[in-house]
Amino acid sequence: MQNKIEQIISLLSEEFPGQKPKPSKSDPLDMLIATMLSQNTTDKASYIAFQNLKTRFKNWEEVLNSPISRVKDAIRVCGLANQKSKSIRLLLRDIKKKRKRINIDFVKKLPDNEIYNELLKYDGVGVKTVSCVLAFGLGRDVFPVDTHVHRLTNRLGLIKTKSPDKTFEQMKNLVPKGKKFLLHTLLIKFGRKICRSKNPLCGKCVLYDMCGFKDKEYYSSLSSKAAAVPKENNFIILENV
């Protein structure tokens, strides 16, 4: 399986040149909140919401103590403002209660497994969110799995799982060391442009021969007639935080 994954990385690297092999680091709490904002929205919208929080409030303490309507206004652009503002405030309150201040820099010195154990204790924080903090906040060699990465790894036949968390558990042992972040970003791009959730462009896919998706022939016949691959008009928020 590792050979197949290496082959996928090589083919997708040719298809999407210029992907960074490693993430740049950022503040772990910023990354935690940026990841919460990024649920069910575009990268651009969640990036604007994150910037609004950073510019309209002095610090996370102020986000916690201001009227919630101010928080909602700041993040409205990324949708689900009610739910996300509540989740962010619950998280900040929980961090303050457990750490006595709103800061999670203590995780920087911990090994990956301890960071999962620590951060999963906080309200509203799941495995995907912690993986993003590790990869994008701390530059660790982990493989975050969202619904898109989950879909792709299953379609390609790398694993057979029912949920992103199960996919994460299996993929963490399959992806070669030092390649996890690169594979994650390549799959995100590939999922947006080619292996889309609906109507994948199988007829234009460089991974066609190695893909285990049962409907690939059907979608190949459709996508050979489809319009050209759409231009990239998004950016990865996690590269911008």
> Which residues have a catalytic role annotated?
128
130-169: which residues touch ligand SF4 (CB under 6 A)?
A: 155-156
Residue 228 CB, nearest distance to ligand SF4 (Å)?
15
The count of residues interacting with ligand SF4 (CB under 6 A) is: 14
Encoded one letter per residue, x for contact with ligand SF4 by CB under 6 A and - for no contact, window 98-137 reads ----------------------------------------
8 touching ligand SF4, by CB under 6 A: no
31 touching ligand SF4, by CB under 6 A: no
23 touching ligand SF4, by CB under 6 A: no
DSSP state string for the chain: -HHHHHHHHHHHHHHSTT--SSPPP--HHHHHHHHHHTTTS-HHHHHHHHHHHHHHSSSHHHHHHS-HHHHHHHHGGGS-HHHHHHHHHHHHHHHHHHHSSS--GGGGGS-HHHHHHHHTTSTT--HHHHHHIIIIIT--S-----HHHHHHHHHTTS---SSHHHHHHHHTTTSPTT-HHHHHHHHHHHHHHTS-SSS--GGG-TTGGG---TTHHHHHHHHTTSPPPPPP----GGGT-
Segment contacting ligand SF4 (CB under 6 A): 16-24, 61-69, 134-142, 207-215?
207-215
Residue 200 CB, nearest distance to ligand SF4 (Å)?
4
63 touching ligand SF4, by CB under 6 A: no
> Which residues contribute to the site for ligand SF4 (CB under 6 A)?
155-156, 194-195, 200-202, 205, 207-208, 211, 213, 216, 219
